[in-house]
Structure 1
Amino acid sequence: MSNSQEASDQPRIGLITGGSRGIGKATALDLARAGGDVIITYRDNRDEAETTVKEVADLGRRAVPLALELGDARTFEAFADAVAATLQETWGRDTFDYLVNNAGSQRAGSLTTATEEDFDALVGVQFKGLFFLTQKVAPLIADNGSVVNISSGMTRFYVPERVLYSATKGAVEVLTRYLAQELGGRGIRVNTIAPGATATDFSGGLLRDNPAVQQVVASMTALGRHGVAEDISGAIVALLDDANRWVTGQRIEVAGGVHL
């Protein structure tokens, strides 16, 4: 974190959706290493969330897990109330500094195979959920804070069977620019990080657990390998930092130079 944070009596606090595993967990740990505290969300695996909390504590920082069903916008008001209560109880604050909209879901499908159920599920989590969650928690973001939305390299290049996933991420990228304008009056920056192929448990661990897929990805990537969660989390935390205070409304691809 920047020198201005180090001089502050309060740590920076990040709210990271899907912070119990994968890129979200790596971001929570990197933010902790940089001197920040975190609120992480999880869907249904409390044990995973508690493991992340312990790893953050081992780094000398504080973390609080909160359950969140991103596909059900009716729960967001109660979630925002829980965030507000957590801020008061844990840090004696009314606001947090960073929002990382990381949580998402995946369903394969093409124009001919995708169903209305697939469409509604992906839009509900990846776009509607992100939009209305941000709407509910935006009043709790401190002025001069920062928001990072997670998109995908697949908004730039084609991957078979990913039409709905990629389209919803494209919507997030447009939303990012609008949020940057609407929140800019409060000094809040809003940007997009677009990861390339990253070895996590996403898509059932397809890349993480399959050397043949890893080899294919490496062959089309300038840096000659597939990504790991820490490649993405490092970029997220750097973008949140005040050193990037003049960057907003941008899409930054973090993909090792895939499909250049």
Structure 2
Amino acid sequence: MDTKNKTKIVLITGGSRGIGKSIALSAAKRGIDVILTYNSNPEHGWAVANEINNGGGKAVALHLDTSKINTFGGFADQVSQLLKDEWGREHFDYLVNNAGIAQRSLIKDTTEEIFDELVNVNFKGVFFLTQKLSTLIIDGGQIINISSALARFAFPGVAVYGALKAGLEGLTRYFAKEYAERKIRVNSVAPGTIDTEFGGGKGDESHRQQIASMNALGRLGLADDVGDFVASLLSDDSRYVNAQRIEVGGGIMI
């Protein structure tokens, strides 16, 4: 029975790099087994999985394009079979919806194609993937949606992305309401400006210093600042935290 198995399993989308990679490695250090997904680079996905496996943990990397909603049923079947084959289980414990794509276009330059791609990955994909995987999440499990500090404040060039993350935070509360009967907790974690290519931390030094100066701690965040925190939520220590937005941004724009 799943409930008698002490090993916890987390499924992390976009776990091959950046914050997703950090979440995977940090979760593994806490004794949690990992299923991570990659999109275009299987080498990166399996590099993370093998790092966990070589360190004494257990991890598997699967391909998933979170913009392709029509593939989610097949992906859920693949996860179900993997759980049976590798763990002798029918359910996993935690889902971290981390996969996303950034935006770098002003409203006047945003095409419908850019808009639709952002919607599909950052909102629609999260909704329907969670829907498909929900039957595989154990009762009493947890879902964490990775949002953004840009849901709270505005910068030019990220209007659609920021608005979608604000919508995701609203969706988080609805997930928490509708999955409450199964005691599945749902929270969102909102990173601030993180020093990754995705987070915009890889600009020129003057830009980096300008962004860092907006932060109360005076520095850009690191992927591990977010990854360690998200992994820390994947335990019973956070058992009474539900339907919340938690910003991990070092005090940016306060």
Length-normalised TM-score, structure 1: 0.94
Matched, 1:237 2:237: no
**Residue in 1 aligned with 2:145?**
149
RMSD: 1.4
**Residue in 2 aligned with 1:177?**
173
Secondary structure of the structure 1 residue equivalent to 2:16: coil
Q: Which runs of no fewer than 5 residues in structure 2 stay unpaired?
A: none
Alignment map for 1:53-72 (pairs within 5 Å): 53-72=49-68
Q: State the alpha-carbon separation in 1 of the partners of residues 47 and 35 from structure 2.
A: 13
**CA offsets 1:48-70 (integer angstroms, 9 cap, x no match):** 01110111113211101110011
**CA offsets 1:148-195 (integer angstroms, 9 cap, x no match):** 000000011111100011011111001000000111111110000000
> Which one of the candidate residues 221, 225, 229 is aligned to 2:219?
225
More moved, 209-218 vs 73-82: 209-218
Matched, 1:108 2:108: no
Report how far residue 10 of structure 1 moved: 3.1
Secondary structure of the structure 2 residue equivalent to 1:194: strand
**Residue in 1 aligned with 2:206?**
212
Q: Which runs of no fewer than 5 residues in structure 1 stay unpaired?
A: 1-7
Percent identical: 47
**Residue in 2 aligned with 1:131?**
127
**CA offsets 1:57-107 (integer angstroms, 9 cap, x no match):** 132111011100110100000000000011111100000000000000112
Q: State the alpha-carbon separation in 2 of the partners of residues 83 and 213 from structure 1.
A: 42
Asked if structure 2 preserves the Cα contact closer than 8 Å seen for 1:194 and 1:255, the reply is yes
Give the count of matched residue pairs.
252
Matched, 1:48 2:44: yes
Q: State the alpha-carbon separation in 1 of the partners of residues 205 and 242 from structure 2.
A: 37
Matched, 1:22 2:27: no
Matched, 1:86 2:107: no
Secondary structure of the structure 2 residue equivalent to 1:202: coil
Secondary structure of the structure 2 residue equivalent to 1:119: helix
Asked if structure 2 preserves the Cα contact closer than 8 Å seen for 1:109 and 1:164, the reply is no
Asked if structure 2 preserves the Cα contact closer than 8 Å seen for 1:147 and 1:240, the reply is no
Secondary structure of the structure 2 residue equivalent to 1:121: helix
AA of the residue aligned to 1:233: G
Q: State the alpha-carbon separation in 1 of the partners of residues 30 and 70 from structure 2.
A: 34
**Residue in 1 aligned with 2:192?**
196
Asked if structure 2 preserves the Cα contact closer than 8 Å seen for 1:195 and 1:232, the reply is yes
> Which one of the candidate residues 242, 246, 250 is aligned to 2:244?
250
Q: Which runs of 4+ in 1 moved over 4 A?
A: none
**Residue in 1 aligned with 2:27?**
31
Length-normalised TM-score, structure 2: 0.96
Report how far residue 9 of structure 1 moved: 4.4
Asked if structure 2 preserves the Cα contact closer than 8 Å seen for 1:180 and 1:189, the reply is yes
